[in-house]
Amino acid sequence: MSVIVLERHQPGREASWAAGGMIAYSEAGPHPQFRELARVSAEMYPEFVHRLQDESGVNVDFRSEGKIHFLEEGKAVPEGGTRLSEAELRQLEPQVEFSGEALLLQESTVDPRALMEALVKGALHLGVEIDSGADVAGLELDGNRVSGAITTKTRYTGQQVVICAGAWSSSLFDLRIRPVKGHMLEVIPQRPLRHVIHGNGVYIVPRSDGRHVIGSTIEDAGFDKRVNPDVIQRLHQAAAMLVPNLGEGLIHQSWTGLRPCSADKLPVLGATSLEGLFAATGHYRDGIMLAPITARVLAGTMSGEVPSFDITAFLPNRFAN
């Protein structure tokens, strides 16, 4: 297919840029189709990263050191979690304060900003065109069929159009997507962690260059992306209760992102009620993890293939009525 990406600002600078980058399929929750989607996507990741790095020449910092997860009271042990004794925890990650039941999960992480850089380079290399700098203002229709997209500058014709506008997706078609704000910060501690640490209402994601990303909040604030320094301080303190050394690390950067959240919090993937119009949005807290399976599902659906597993829970028309 001949593909053009219409991007308002710079590609990958919204929720993808703000993300922590955890491939956290064990936290997928009880929904069976979502669990399957997450599991398949996480399994695709090593090959996805390998191909992307090869195509783009960008290292996306794919790490598979695992995650130490402190179980909240009353919560079930996530799939694949192994309980750690205090001695085992101390051996794995000596800086972490033991606070309740600790589990080890074999999960990976990626640096989402590097991932986006690699995706843009890789896509351009494969012949994808990216036009940025103008808002997509609407869809061009020919009866009940989409025939293109109109930006504030020009119009594009296309036999198939995919809405992948994240938190802004509903401005183009009623997909019941709203923004859910999250605050994040980055510190560079003197002694780095090896594992992702999750507990006390925060997660800490170490990168190989020494940066540690700490997140996040879940806020209903519309499209307001302002950073509240008090919220950043609270996240930093919560992380320092788990890893005291992080409290001494200076805050290097702080930011917010707007997660695209659908009415039932599940992704919105596949064909819409308008012929030729597809959606790939609503990934909420799991957009980075779900990138490879989203690409596979959309490419398959748009080529007329029957998906190899059940995606009915994610179809855009589930919100009709």
- Least separation in angstroms between residue 6's CB and ligand GLY is 26
Q: Which is nearer to ligand GLY, 25 or 278 (CB)?
A: 25
Angle between helix axes 32-56 and 112-125 (nearest 10 degrees) is: 60
Q: Which is nearer to ligand GLY, 169 or 256 (CB)?
A: 256
216 touches ligand GLY by CB under 6 A: yes
Q: Which is nearer to ligand GLY, 179 or 276 (CB)?
A: 179
- Least separation in angstroms between residue 161's CB and ligand GLY is 27
20 touches ligand GLY by CB under 6 A: yes
16 touches ligand GLY by CB under 6 A: no
Phi, psi of 89 (to 5 degrees): -65, -45
**Residues 80-139 within binding reach of ligand GLY (CB under 6 A):** none
Question: Residue 321, class by beta-carbon neighbours within 10 Å (0-12 exposed, 13-18 middle, 19+ buried)?
Answer: exposed
69 touches ligand GLY by CB under 6 A: no
Residues 158, 146: Cα–Cα separation, whole Å? 8
Size of the site for ligand GLY (CB under 6 A): 7
Supply the Cα-derived Rg of the chain in whole angstroms.
20
215 touches ligand GLY by CB under 6 A: yes
Largest CA distance in the chain: 67
**Residues 241-280 within binding reach of ligand GLY (CB under 6 A):** 259
- Least separation in angstroms between residue 236's CB and ligand GLY is 15
Could you say which of 105, 285, 297, 316 contacts ligand GLY (CB under 6 A)?
285
246 HSE (CA, 13 A, CB side): 30
**Residues 179-208 within binding reach of ligand GLY (CB under 6 A):** 182
- Least separation in angstroms between residue 97's CB and ligand GLY is 22
- Least separation in angstroms between residue 259's CB and ligand GLY is 6
Q: Which is nearer to ligand GLY, 259 or 297 (CB)?
A: 259
Q: Which is nearer to ligand GLY, 126 or 263 (CB)?
A: 263
Binding residues (CB under 6 A) for ligand GLY: these are 20, 22, 182, 215-216, 259, 285
